Amino acid sequence: MHAEVELSLNFDIKGRNFSKAGTISTKIKEILQELGIPMSIIRRTAIAAYEAEMNVVMYADKAQLTLCLTPAGISIIINDEGPGIEDIKQAMEEGFSTATDEIREMGFGAGMGLPNIKKNSDKMKISSIPGKGTSLDIFFNLSKVSEQ
Amino acid sequence: MTLKEIKEILQAEIICGENLLDIEIEFAGGADLMSDALSFGEPGLILLTGLTNSQSVRTADIIGAKAIVYVRGKKPNIDVIEFAQSKKIPLLSTKLMMYTACGRLFSHNLPGVHEHKGKKSNAC
């Protein structure tokens, strides 16, 4: 039934807005639940969306998140405006972090964000222009329903 | 093990979710960093943490945790409690340190995430 649904929604994320951090990911989880998407995929999508949303809140000025649901799967695209990432390869390493104390007090900044996004998604593309911003494109295959 | 048994082992106080003390908990995990919880978390676990802000409840909701125990006597503010109530996630608070709380639960045969996963895959 979920394969027939098509949907495209945009959300704005504000950088440094720690009190609202994560609300969009919770909303995405609720939307996917209402659409009857399998729980194992919702869980992976919600974890990746949450990490990506927190990255924007922690490091960027603002971003637009686009959630698209097609017969093939779920895609989440985030384009942010901010400092960007100097070395993406280094940022993908578990434990690498440039987090401030404020970020760590929120329970984030362990250098697990991008690795967690990669681990939970079926496809991940990231590009960045230092000084301008970062684009993240993640995809979840709806035919993959195995538990992770 | 029920949440009520966990409450007794940890000499914990219930902050919210008293009506959910009969739920069964099969495994536990402890972390102060939510990215770690997001990385190891599995649906059904009980999360022990010293982090009391809204991200603790949001993380528990995202990973499908059944309950949260705050260690070192910490308690969240009312906004966090109301958020947990809306998500039907019981909150407990124990005066024990993280190490002691986890150790007590483990010694009462409540496995960690990896031991639980290992048990499940061996059964297959």
Q: How much is the pLDDT for A148?
A: 44
Structure tokens at A137: 């494109």
Domains and CATH numbers, chain A: 2-141 (3.30.565.10)
- Please tell me which residue of chain A has the smallest CA distance to B64: A43
B-facing residues of A in 51-80 (CB < 8 A) are: 51
The class that CATH gives domain B3-114 is alpha beta
Report yes or no: A84 at the B interface, CB cutoff 8 Å. Answer: no
Structure tokens at B4: 């009520």
What is the tens place of the pLDDT at every residue in A37-57?
999 999 999 999 999 999 999
CA distance A43 to chain B (A): 6
Q: How much is the pLDDT for A42?
A: 97
- Look up the pTM and report it: 0.90
**Angle, CA A104 vertex, CA A103 and CA A106 arms, to 5°:** 70
pLDDT at B44 over 60: yes
CB contact (8 A) between residue A107 and residue B59 = yes
Q: What is the 3-state secondary structure (H, E, C) of chain A?
A: CHHHCCEEEEEEEECCCHHHCCHHHHHHHHHHHHCCCCHHHHHHHHHHHHHHHHHHHHHCCEEEEEEEECCCEEEEEEEEECCCCCCHHHHCCCCCCCCCHHHHHCCCCCCCHHHHHHHHCCEEEEEEECCCEEEEEEEEECCCCCCC
Rounded mean pLDDT, B80-92: 98
What is the tens place of the pLDDT at every residue in A70-80?
999 999 999 99
A-facing residues of B in 58-97 (CB < 8 A) are: 58-59, 61-64
The domain limits of chain B are 3-114
Point out the residues of chain A with pLDDT beneath 70: 1-5, 144-148
Pairing of strands A7-14, A62-69: antiparallel
Q: Which residues of B touch A113 (CB under 8 A)?
A: 35
**Angle, CA B35 vertex, CA B33 and CA B41 arms, to 5°:** 100
Please answer whether residues B17 and B91 qualify as being in contact, where contact means their C-beta atoms are separated by less than 8 angstroms: yes
